[in-house]
Structure 1
């Protein structure tokens, strides 16, 4: 996830102090997510993030009591952006099969370009990360299972297929970052993902 450049940081870089907007808790959370994507959870430290945002530690303590509170806010932001907003977007498609295919294609393609998910999985032992991964995993698998149910699969089978679909997504994501040459080339990626869905939908 690319961190947007804040007006405060831009103003400081030009030596302009008047009219700068005050950084929000969301700005800090987004900056923390960007740092996690680049260098893992250990990169979430107040002073480097303040420098990145072009502000001081005082801004941090205006919004958060400590580093753990910032990590919690960043993880909740990730949950919102990478799960809830995606589900809301695909819900605009009335056909459950097209919804399912669009979801798998878009989520897989996005995760392959964004190291954040892999970074979080690598720190799954951290209590705060473990908690959000548990919620997100259950939400994602549950939603995909719901789509399979809408397509006529019985509840237990829909759950199994939802788990298989999510396992495929995670496996593809891990390979994309660790061993990308194992995956089909970009020109064949869409066809490959469609074949995965064809297999998952086979009755």
Structure 2
């Protein structure tokens, strides 16, 4: 069903009503709610009327910030794809005291799930099953992360091809962990962490790194 087109007068009136308490809804409010629905319910449920209802505002306020639903979806995808917004890429490019530091940060970032959202990654992969544009974006992000990981492994002394394969193994392991819906307690993950680190990287996890993580 096509969305009803609104006149300028409708938009102006709805914009006045697009208020929650004393705070007007912002572009970021719409994007945040759209992302939440994308993660929890899938892209097909990201609809203007549903978002407006969840934000407790009229749908007219939406059109002050976005041309249409597709514009909103394009922005969600572009934000996720942008390297500036990718915590996994950032964590691999930080300042290092030792060559192992990027891998330690990478693993800890995925375990903490603070700046990095595996749920958002999974939602994008689900969306990519029905959208070629999203599929290309997912491929771009995956290849970028693997490329940066491979450079880290080269810095550890691995030849280019082996560094690339190790990067793929580590990344595919992480993606697969969430894709399979593995349920482990935080304590279990920390218990297995040194073993995973050794098997994935070929190096022992520095004890001070694990201790620092546990104390946070």
Q: TM-score range by the shorter chain?
A: 0.7 to 0.9
Farther off after superposition, 112-121 or 126-135: 112-121
Which consecutive residues of structure 2, in runs of 5 or more, have no partner in the other structure? 1-15, 204-216
**Partner in structure 1 of residue 65 of structure 2:** 63
Over aligned residues, Cα RMSD in angstroms?
A: 3.0
> Using the alignment, how far apart are the partners of 1:118 and 1:68 within structure 2?
20
Which 4+ residue blocks in structure 1 deviate beyond 6 angstroms? Answer: none
Q: Between Structure 1 and Structure 2, whose CA radius of gyration is higher?
A: 2
Alpha-carbon distance change, 86 to 202 in structure 1, aligned in 2, over 3 angstroms: closer
Among 108, 121, 127, which residue is 2:125 paired with? 121
> Using the alignment, how far apart are the partners of 1:127 and 1:64 within structure 2?
22
Q: Do 2:118 and 2:178's aligned partners in 1 also have CA atoms closer than 8 Å?
A: no
Which has the larger helix fraction?
1
The answer on 1:155 being equivalent to 2:160 is yes
Q: Do 1:105 and 1:190's aligned partners in 2 also have CA atoms closer than 8 Å?
A: no
Q: Do 1:149 and 1:155's aligned partners in 2 also have CA atoms closer than 8 Å?
A: yes
Among 98, 101, 120, which residue is 2:101 paired with? 98
Which consecutive residues of structure 1, in runs of 5 or more, have no partner in the other structure? 1-7
Alpha-carbon distance change, 57 to 147 in structure 1, aligned in 2, over 3 angstroms: same
Determine helix, strand or coil for the equivalent of 2:100: helix
Q: TM-score, normalised by structure 2?
A: 0.72
Higher relative contact order (CA 8 A, sep 6+): 1
The answer on 1:144 being equivalent to 2:143 is no
For 1:64-112, what per-residue CA distance to the aligned partner results, in whole angstroms no more than 9, with x for missing partners?
2221211111122233489624433453341331221221232245299
**Count of aligned pairs:** 185
Q: Do 1:105 and 1:193's aligned partners in 2 also have CA atoms closer than 8 Å?
A: no
**Partner in structure 2 of residue 4 of structure 1:** none
